[in-house]
Structure 1
Amino acid sequence: MFRRVAIVAGLGLALVAAAQAEGPRKGGTIRMTAPYGSSFTSLDIHTT
């Protein structure tokens, strides 16, 4: 009996955690500097 309760509680906790992970987050705009020169084909914003 205790094993069933533990399994149901574990599944419930996993579903709640998954639902919170899927929820939208508050935030702003992602800003990224455009690459230039030899790094145009990569996402490296620092030139080496």
Structure 2
Amino acid sequence: MKHVMSDAELRRAIREITDRADSARKRGDLAMADGLDRTVREYQDAMSHRL
């Protein structure tokens, strides 16, 4: 059974992953930052479909 994140979990994950992407960019790890940014966009898209 697949876990469906609550709205609060999604918001928390978006914040945390955004912070990690920013940190990766500061370290020069652009590939990691791009991957994390994609995940954030997917989570934001999921949130937008809930509203």
User: What TM-score do you get using the length of structure 2 for normalisation?
Assistant: 0.43
**Structure holding more helix per residue:** 2
State which structure, 1 or 2, has the greater radius of gyration over its C-alpha atoms.
1
Greater relative CO, 1 or 2 (CA 8 Å, sep 6+): 2
Q: What TM-score do you get using the length of structure 1 for normalisation?
A: 0.45
